[in-house]
Amino acid sequence: MTGNARRPEASDDGKPPGGELLGTAPVLDQVFDGDSLHALREAVAAHGMQAGLAEGRVGDLVLAVHELAANAIRHGAGHGRLRVWNTGGTLRCEVTDDGAPHPDGPDGEATAAPRAVRWNIEPGHGLWVIRQVADHTSLRGGSSGIVAEVSFRLEAPG
């Protein structure tokens, strides 16, 4: 950081407002674009199974992350980043774009709507579906891009 900027304070769950868990490295940190969504889905499924999610919940996890990644591609600069943390009781996934939207919308017209709004007005029900399958969801926007998060509780052993 430069100047007078300081690190954001952590919330009660140990997570600063920018997204990353304090002192915890993600178990998956992968950049993606339209050509790598298949590899992203495979990596997410593997990490979900390894964490102990039931098969149906692994499917929900893959669906949610895929929808968020597809939104980052479509409404951002055509690529993004996924980070996944296993907190012991939860898989927390964060999808970000880099804040550089396509200069034109899907129909070639300039887009003037704020980025977070554009994520919500496109046709389809991706964000609604995500809210149905994930245990927690959040979507934040700002000058540095969109941060979308989903969390899935891990079942206790036995």
pLDDT along the chain (158 residues), means of 10: 32 43 84 96 97 95 97 89 96 88 46 45 76 95 87 81
Residue 122 token pair: 């496109």
Asked if residue 70 is part of any domain, the answer here is: yes
The CATH code of the domain that includes 121 is 3.30.565.10
Domain limits at 141?
28-153
Asked if residue 8 belongs to a domain, the reply is no
The pLDDT assigned to 24 comes to: 87
142 located within any domain = yes
Q: Report yes or no on 98 lying in a domain.
A: yes
74 lies in a domain? yes
Name the residue among 20, 22, 86 with its Cα closest to residue 50: 86
What's the confidence (pLDDT) of residue 76?
A: 85
3-state helix, strand, coil in the chain (%, to 5): 30, 25, 45
Q: Is 21 a domain residue?
A: no
In a domain, 7, yes or no: no
- How far from 121 is each of 70, 124, 126, CA to CA, in Å? 14, 9, 11
14 in a structural domain: no
Q: How many structural domains compose the chain?
A: 1
